[in-house]
Amino acid sequence: DAGVTQSPTHLIKTRGQQVTLRCSPKSGHDTVSWYQQALGQGPQFIFQYYEEEERQRGNFPDRFSGHQFPNYSSELNVNALLLGDSALYLCASSLGSGFGYEQYFGPGTRLTVT
Amino acid sequence: AQSVAQPEDQVNVAEGNPLTVKCTYSVSGNPYLFWYVQYPNRGLQFLLKYITGDNLVKGSYGFEAEFNKSQTSFHLKKPSALVSDSALYFCAVSRGGGNKLTFGGGTRVLVKP
């Protein structure tokens, strides 16, 4: 049973560029959340998708956007990249978006902005 | 707003000794509490959760955590630490409106042989 997968593993971009990160949830999961983990910090919630709609959003600017496809996979898009966007981006999936459902995390995509 | 504090940046323990990683939380209403572990260059692995019921929760790899409502704490414990337990540990809370997680800053555990 495949867990959460993310692509690519690493990515290097230049300031001002745009990037798309991809996530496939654990089999049977229908909810995908994205987190940003800066070096030396805990992950911060970006947003969550359920039934192809953004259900919750953290304190991130509109430069961060996402999408969920009918097969529950998801993309995270970041426009106009800043140096401060350099981080590990984690995707997590869960069986539903209700209280207490544990989230299963992928290995992450390491984004470096130069 | 909800928040989590992990007061220790690093915990050092000898192999075979008890391990405790501290976590306190702030949330209105009843919290849902989680512990995750992160190994180098890896994502987070779920260890255990507290939703309701017994204050002592048992999880994966011999870990357990004790929920203390009066002290708003959820400390992670392991009776006998292994070198392979060396990793970064995160406490997280969710409350209301779905299962988004708010994480603490993490505690690095170093178990020495």
Cα R_g (chain A), whole angstroms: 13
The CATH number linked to A10 is 2.60.40.10
| Residue A90 at interface with chain B, using a CB cutoff of 8 Å | yes
Nearest partner of B85 among B34, B25, B29, B12, judged by Cα: B12
Q: Is there a contact between B44 and A105 if contact means CB atoms under 8 Å apart? A: yes
Domains of chain B: 3-112 (2.60.40.10)
pLDDT score at B97? 59
What total number of domains does chain A contain?
Answer: 1
List the single residue in A100, A102, A107 with the smallest CB-CB distance to B43: A107
Residue A65 lies in a domain: yes
Q: What is the pLDDT of residues B86-107, one digit of tens each?
A: 999 999 998 765 678 999 999 9
At residue A85, the 3 state secondary structure works out as: helix
- Report the DSSP pairing between strands A109-113 and A10-13: parallel
Joined together, the tokens standing for residue B65 give: 């955590």
Q: Residue B51's closest chain A neighbor by CA?
A: A100
Contact between A90 and A108 under an 8 Å Cβ cutoff? The reply is yes
Question: Where in the sequence is the domain holding A80, given as residue range(s)?
Answer: 5-109
Count of A-B CB contacts under 8 Å: 72
Residue A39 lies in a domain: yes
pLDDT score at A10? 96
Amino acid at A59: N
Residue A13 lies in a domain: yes
Q: Is there a contact between A104 and B98 if contact means CB atoms under 8 Å apart? A: no
| Residue B14 at interface with chain A, using a CB cutoff of 8 Å | no
What whole-number distance in Å separates Cα of residue B110 and Cα of residue B4?
A: 22
pLDDT score at B30? 83
Contact between A112 and A86 under an 8 Å Cβ cutoff? The reply is yes
Joined together, the tokens standing for residue B40 give: 């180098």
Q: Is there a contact between B99 and A94 if contact means CB atoms under 8 Å apart? A: yes
| Residue A87 at interface with chain B, using a CB cutoff of 8 Å | no
Q: What is the pLDDT of residues B37-74, one digit of tens each?
A: 999 877 899 999 998 888 999 999 999 999 999 999 99
Q: Residue A34's closest chain B neighbor by CA?
A: B100
pLDDT score at B95? 77
Length of chain A: 114
Q: What is the pLDDT of residues A17-67, one digit of tens each?
A: 999 999 999 999 999 999 999 999 999 999 999 999 999 899 999 999 999
| Residue B96 at interface with chain A, using a CB cutoff of 8 Å | yes
Residue A44 lies in a domain: yes
Our CA-based measurement puts residue B103 at a distance from the nearest CA of chain A, in whole angstroms, of 6
Residue A95 lies in a domain: yes
Q: Is there a contact between B100 and A45 if contact means CB atoms under 8 Å apart? A: yes
Residue A45 lies in a domain: yes
Residue A114 lies in a domain: no
What whole-number distance in Å separates Cα of residue B110 and Cα of residue B113?
A: 10
Write out residues 16-55 of A within 8 Å (CB-CB) of B. 31, 33, 35, 41-45, 48, 55
What whole-number distance in Å separates Cα of residue B10 and Cα of residue B17?
A: 16
Residue A93 lies in a domain: yes
